[in-house]
Structure 1
Amino acid sequence: MGRGVDLSPRKKSEVKTLLLHTSHSQRKIAELAGVSKSVVNKIKINLDQDQPLSPKRKGKCGRKRITTPRSDRKIRDICLQNRKKSAGLLTQMVQESGIQVSKRTVQRRLAEEGLTGHRPAKKPRLTEAMKKKRLAWAREHRLMSVEDWSKVCFSDESTFEILADKSNFVRRRPGEKFHPDCIVERVKHPVKIMVWSVISAKGVGRLYIVQGTMRQDQYKQVLDTRLLPQLREWFPEGEEFMFMHDSAPCHKARSVTKFLADHNIPVLPWPGNSPDMNPIENLWKITKAEIAKEMITTKVKLIEKLINVWHHNPKIKESVKQCIESMPRRIEALIQAKGNVTKY
């Protein structure tokens, strides 16, 4: 009997039973089992050599690949030219180019190239002029060591809000679309607070809750009631230090510049639109993640939680020094990116 398809496990077991428990010839067994004599012979050899009847298959099995290497490259190139398009739109573009494949095939080919879907990183928009200034700043401060950066006090403001659940995904079963655990609650006008603080290699500094919009008069109050006491605490013996703040209008006001000069506070030059160079941003991110673990519905609770996390959370304490020590790597990354955005 000629071979048509691979024998099923049941048919192989039937031939095996006939070989082991009857005295029939191989020809007779082939006739009884409805298989060829060569099949019976192969199964007998495997039994004699104590080999499995179903050897492991070599290579991939299944239908032949529908695309060619050339069409795979075309799919990849279309994706690289349209990185923010959905798989459905990419499939339409691929089909319009003459490659008739399904959406699932496009997804598989992109996965093979390592082009998987992710939420895009949010970075500030940089003009060519901004990139040049960032690159020049990085080259100017390239030789600063970790010890030099440990003398810098980095400051910044950040905004926190109640019900700040930013989830983009949820895992749910059919019928659970409106389950309390599967929705993101929103309010029309969420309560927000802006806070200011400063960090150094010595730890995190005092927090200041900004009232309304930060303007130069309030910023001078921040410097007077928060920064100056913190500097006296961190550098009591007249140690060298530098103060960093960004180029926000309230920071660069003449009255603020005069206040810093009158109090002998040296200021580190800082390029605009460079939050990736400011290590306090990493601590703000950790703080927001910790606050988001609880459902906070009032301003008072938000402030209490913020203070608790900022001053007592072990993740903050562990990360401060690491963030400061990363400054030389940030500078090198900025130079490598030629002033463009970095991973920080």
Structure 2
Amino acid sequence: MTAIISSFLTFTGVVTNMVKSREWSRKTREEVITLHRKGNGYKKIAKMLNIPRDTIGSIIRKFKAKGTVETLPGCGRKKMLTSTAVRYLKRRVEKSPRVTAEELRKDLSDVGTEVSAQTIRRTLRNEGLHARTPRRTPLLSPKNKKSRLQYDKSHVDKPQTFWDSVLWTDETKLELFGPMDQRYVWRRKNMAYEEKNTLPTVKHGGGSIMLWGCFASAGTGKLQRVQGTMNSLQYQEILDDNVMQSVTNLRLGRRWTFQQDNDPKHTSKSTTAWLQIKGWNILEWPSQSPDLNPIENLWWDLKKAVAVRKPKNVTELEAFAHDEWAKIPVDRCKTLVSSYASRLKAVYNCKRMCTKY
């Protein structure tokens, strides 16, 4: 009875091709073609190479039809989504980037196309569209956008010598257990809480410091810790202690330009009057534009370098920061400033929105 059922299944095609036949090497297939061209028949070639005659015939027929002995890609499973459906998915996500795969699945289901959310994700990946965490950027109002465009137009034709004479300044916050210390770990299942696979946390962040720094094309300038909450008066004291010394060390000359953002402490009446007394040339600055300040790139470099050294307390955090700030190569500073024209072009090309910088 078993033999009868087996024969029936084979006859109806259920068992047929369930076991993949052996695939002969390319060298062997080439030998078959060579022997065939010399006038040898299927039976003789099969005996010479110890290969079934049916296989010999299959290799030769394929060569005559396709002109090759290479393994050709199979037809594969029929695609679940039509080209029209794929175009719809692409249009939908390009118009609404936050739409989910499940929402797209429901949209297709409503018109009679049943596929899984995973199929939709795979299809979009094949089309070059990948789900990514959105980049965080400053919120730009129409006024901000207009200001950025005006800044771009008034400075796009500035010579490189102008940018080389700018002293770029800013403040940043360094945390003892900051985001730079967060990364992926390779671990096995059920080993998530082993000490080597965890990231220690403490209440209130474990401590942090605020730093004021400056740099120019010639290298990094002074770096100073901000004590407590900085107000206009303390900001003026920091500038008085550090700016002119940095200008001298970096050899910016007499026609140097001071850059600062539009933080309230920087633009208060008190600070504005203080800067007028100093007589410094102030670079006009559009609000909400950290991407236009190359010192942001140095802050990123600094935070990465300090995180690698794993400071244990705030004292080490400050010491490491000063140490790593001094180590930043002059070439790094020069490259950031020499490419400033590219930042301005990016502002214009992205229609005054935030740039990749």
Distance in 2 (alpha carbons) for counterparts of 1:185 and 1:332: 43
Bigger share in helix:
2
Q: Could you say if the C-alpha distance between residues 70 and 227 of structure 1 is closer, same or farther in structure 2, counting changes exceeding 3 Å?
A: same
How far is 1:171 from its partner? 3.2
Q: Deviations over 1:50-109 (max 9, x none)?
A: xxxx94333454211111001111222332244234544544454345431122211221
Instruction: Say if 1:163 and 1:297, in contact at 8 Å, map to a contact too.
Output: no
Matched with 1:148 is 162
Code of the residue aligned with 1:116 in structure 2: it is H
- What is the one-letter code of the residue matched to 1:264? G
Over 3 Å counting, the alpha-carbon distance change for 1:127 and 1:60 in structure 2 is farther
**Cα distance 1:10–1:233, how it changes in 2: closer, same or farther (>3 A)?**
closer
SS of the aligned residue for 1:206 comes to strand
Deviation readout 1:100-155 (Å, 9 max, x if unpaired): 11222112211111111333222101011110110111001110122210011110
Determine the structure 1 residue equivalent to 2:39. Answer: none
For the 8 Å contact 2:220–2:328, the answer to whether it is kept is no
Aligned CA RMSD, in angstroms, stands at 3.3
Partner amino acid, structure 1, of 2:243:
L
The match for 1:118 is 132
The secondary structure found in structure 1 opposite 2:138 is coil
Aligned to 1:342: 355
Closer, same or farther in 2 for the Cα pair 1:68/1:44, shift >3 Å? closer
Paired residue for 1:72?
A: 86
Q: Does residue 1:217 correspond to 2:262, yes or no?
A: no
> Partners in 1 of 2:115 and 2:305 — Cα distance?
45
Q: Distance in 1 between the 2:55 and 2:78 partners?
A: 30
Whole-angstrom distance in 2 between the partners of 1:172 and 1:270: 47
2:208 maps to 192
Alignment match of 2:218 (pick from 202, 208, 215): 202
* 1:123 to 1:40, Cα distance in 2 relative to 1, 3 A: closer
Partner of residue 245, structure 1: 260
Gaps of at least 5 residues in structure 2 are 1-10, 33-41, 47-51
Separation (CA, whole Å) in 2 of partners of 1:7 and 1:160: 61
- 1-structure distance, mates of 2:116, 2:288: 43
Q: Is the 8 A contact 1:201 1:324 kept in 2?
A: yes
Change (3 A) 1:218 1:78: same
The 10-residue stretch of structure 1 (125-134 or 81-90) with the greater mean CA deviation from structure 2: 81-90
Q: 1:78 to 1:171 in 2, by over 3 A?
A: farther
Task: Find the partner of 1:272 among 280, 283, 287.
Answer: 287
Return closer, same or farther for 1:45/1:217 CA change in 2, 3 Å cut-off. closer
Q: Distance in 2 between matches of 1:335 and 1:103?
A: 38
Distance (whole Å) between structure 1 residues aligned to residue 279 and residue 267 of structure 2: 16
The 10-residue stretch of structure 1 (99-108 or 304-313) with the greater mean CA deviation from structure 2: 99-108
Whole-Å separation in 1 of the counterparts to 2:247 and 2:145: 32
User: Once the 2 structures are TM-superposed, how far is the Cα of residue 248 of structure 1 from its aligned partner?
Assistant: 0.6
Contact 1:126 1:273 in 2 (8 A): yes
* 2:63 is the counterpart of 1:84: no
Ranges in structure 1 where 5+ consecutive residues have no aligned partner: 17-24, 30-34
Partner residue, 1:102 = 116
Letter in 2 for 1:102: S
| Residue-by-residue CA offset, 1:11-69 (whole Å, 9 max, x unaligned) | 999xx9xxxxxxxx95xx9xxxxx9x7x35615858xx9xxxx9433345421111100
Q: Deviations over 1:145-202 (max 9, x none)?
A: 2221001111000111001145364432211221223323222202111100111112
* 3-state SS of 1:181 partner: helix
Q: CA deviation at 1:231?
A: 1.9
Q: Which residue of 2 aligns with 1:306?
A: 321
Alignment partner, residue 322 of structure 1: 335
Give 1:296 shift: 2.3
Q: How many residues align?
A: 320
TM-score scaled by length of structure 2: 0.79
Quick one: percent identity of the two aligned structures? 28
Q: Is the 8 A contact 1:287 1:309 kept in 2?
A: yes
Q: Deviation string for 1:201-229 (max 9, x for gaps)?
A: 12111111111222110001011111122
Give the 3-state SS of the residue equivalent to 1:282 in structure 2.
helix
CA separation of 1:11 and 1:224: change in aligned 2, threshold 3 A: closer
Amino acid at match of 1:334: V
After superposition, the Cα gap between the structure-2 partners of 1:10 and 1:235, relative to the gap in structure 1 and judged at 3 Å, is closer
